[in-house]
């Protein structure tokens, strides 16, 4: 019965949406306007490490809505604090969170570190070739939507946001890894030893929020200072949270680039483990857990999208590009397969 159920789920995989052949999807790519576009040159290219990011600078950048979601309190901050059903619970939780956050900062329970890189790059098909140092290139492998859409909607791939090599334009890409979880273990262990699950979870949730806040703050500084393509940007927290800025920072494992193993390439480009102490597990999870990593794209047309279901044709092509066996690629891409692997 279990197998029948799995098969039934798989047979519904297309969600009623037809896939187009890979060649057609590529023909329907996002067009970056390369004949008139002038890619911004990074003001400070190369790899940069920020060793001990001031935590109090990050507090204004915290997006509290996902914090309340962690506790299964549905609603948007700050409206949730006045919600008729969960408002009282949300206010009490928020008081506790702010008190612990003050303690975390004043007693230095955790430290935050960041590494980011900005390099020359060009796209070659659905790959991006990055010049990580003089004469050395690294390839990033991306996936393309194959959904049959109305003509005016492209089938997106992240590589579309980088100038193709054959245009002769010198474009760029960025990558980052940040953590706010360094030093957290003894404090979590102390709460757990006292069977204080509430404060153990609260601490981990706050470290997660600080890591996301650092990703937000660093991206802002990249746009304004380090890449410098938006030097006059001045956005409040609400505008940052709702991403009203130019550029995106998609993360491997998320819908626009759902394949987690690319994180290993990203980490190698940044030397993230030795520079800031984030490790990748065998399943490409980050440790400490309160860590965020991803890419920076600067094209004004760059946007988030969901790759969704992909055909065996694309998975085979992806495996070839990455230099791995098809079965390995199928394991990595299991949630996205529009077919049952053999």
DSSP 8-state symbol, 82: G
Question: Mind listing the pLDDT tens digit for each residue in 198-215?
Answer: 999 999 999 999 999 999
Task: Give per-residue pLDDT as tens, 296-310.
Answer: 999 999 999 999 999
State CA 239 to chain mean position distance: 18
> To which residue do tokens 């992806």 refer?
318
Go through the domains of the chain in sequence order and give each one's CATH number: 19-55+111-183+201-308 (3.10.196.10)
| pLDDT score recorded for residue 156 | 98
pLDDT band for position 31 (cuts 50, 70, 90): very high
The pLDDT, as a whole number, for residue 165 is: 98
pLDDT band at 13 (very low <50, low <70, confident <90, very high): low
Res. 53: pLDDT tops 60? yes
Based on C-alpha coordinates, what's the Rg of the chain? 21
* pLDDT score of 174: 99
Q: Which residues contact 272 (CB under 8 A, 6 or more apart)?
A: 115, 177, 266, 278, 293
Does the structure show a pLDDT above 50 at 180?
yes
Model confidence at 14: pLDDT above 70: no
Q: How confident is the model at residue 145 (pLDDT cuts 50, 70, 90)?
A: very high
pTM: 0.93
pLDDT above 90: residue 127: yes
* Confidence tier at 134 by pLDDT (50, 70, 90): confident
Is residue 231 helix, strand or coil? coil
Segment 18-30, tens digit of pLDDT = 899 999 999 999 9
Give the H/E segment covering residue 137: strand 136-141
Between vectors from CA 215 to CA 214 and to CA 216, what angle results, nearest 5°? 90
Using an 8 Å Cβ cutoff, are 181 and 215 in contact?
Answer: no
**pLDDT band with cut points at 50, 70 and 90 for residue 133:** confident
Mean pLDDT rounded to a whole number for the chain: 95
| Better pLDDT: 133 or 215 | 215
CA geometry: angle 204, 210, 215, nearest 5 deg? 130
Give the pLDDT mean for 151-155: 87
SS3 129: strand
pLDDT of 321:
99
pLDDT of residue 152: 81
Q: How confident is the model at residue 16 (pLDDT cuts 50, 70, 90)?
A: low
Core vs surface per residue 255-290: b (16+ CB within 10 A) or e: ebbbbbbbbebbbebbebeebbbbebeeebebebeb
For 66-85, how does the pLDDT look when each residue is reduced to its tens digit (9 = 90+)? Answer: 999 999 999 999 999 999 99
Q: Which residues contact 172 (CB under 8 A, 6 or more apart)?
A: 39, 40, 41, 42, 45, 118, 119, 120, 121, 227, 298
Q: At 66, list the tokens.
A: 């996902």
Indicate if the pLDDT at residue 101 is higher than 80.
yes
Tokens of 226: 């380090």
What pLDDT does residue 12 have?
Answer: 47
- Using the structure block, give the residue that is written with the tokens 């480009």: 269
Closest among 72, 5, 10, 42 to 296, alpha carbons compared: 42
pLDDT reading at 15 higher than 80: no
Q: How far apart are CA 78 and CA 83, in angstroms?
A: 9
pLDDT digits 0-9 by tens, 237-276: 999 999 999 999 999 999 999 999 999 999 999 999 999 9
């Amino acid at each position: 019965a279990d197998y029948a159920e799995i098969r039934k789920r798989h047979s519904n995989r297309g969600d009623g949406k037809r896939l187009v052949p890979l060649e057609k999807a590529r023909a329907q790519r996002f067009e970056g306007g390369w004949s008139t576009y002038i890619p911004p040159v990074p003001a400070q290219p190369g790899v940069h490490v920020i060793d001990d990011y001031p935590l109090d600078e990050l507090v204004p950048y915290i997006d509290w809505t996902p914090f309340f979601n962690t506790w299964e309190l549905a609603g948007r901050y700050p409206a949730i604090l006045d919600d008729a059903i969960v408002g009282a619970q949300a206010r009490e939780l928020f008081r506790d969170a702010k008190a612990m956050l003050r303690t975390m900062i004043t007693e230095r329970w955790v430290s935050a570190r960041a590494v980011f890189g900005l390099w020359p790059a060009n796209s070659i098909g659905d790959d991006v070739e990055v010049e990580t140092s003089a004469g050395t290139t690294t390839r990033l492998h991306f996936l393309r939507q194959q959904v049959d859409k109305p003509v005016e909607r492209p089938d997106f791939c992240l590589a579309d946001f980088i100038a193709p090599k054959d245009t002769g334009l010198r474009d760029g890409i960025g990558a980052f890894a940040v953590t706010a979880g360094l030093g957290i273990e003894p404090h979590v262990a102390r709460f757990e030893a006292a069977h204080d699950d509430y404060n153990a979870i609260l601490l981990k949730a706050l470290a997660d929020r600080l890591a996301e806040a650092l990703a937000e703050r660093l991206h802002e500084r990249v746009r304004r200072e380090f890449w410098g393509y938006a030097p006059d940007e001045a956005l409040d927290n609400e505008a940052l949270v709702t991403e009203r800025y130019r550029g995106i920072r998609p993360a491997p494992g998320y819908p626009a680039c759902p394949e987690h193993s690319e994180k290993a390439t990203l980490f190698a480009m940044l030397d993230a483990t030795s520079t800031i102490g984030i490790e990748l597990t065998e399943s490409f999870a980050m440790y400490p857990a309160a860590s965020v990593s991803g890419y920076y794209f600067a094209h004004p047309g760059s946007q988030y999208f969901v790759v969704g279901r992909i055909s065996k044709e694309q998975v085979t092509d992806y495996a070839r590009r990455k230099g791995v066996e098809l079965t390995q690629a199928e394991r990595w891409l299991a949630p996205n397969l529009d077919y049952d692997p053999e």
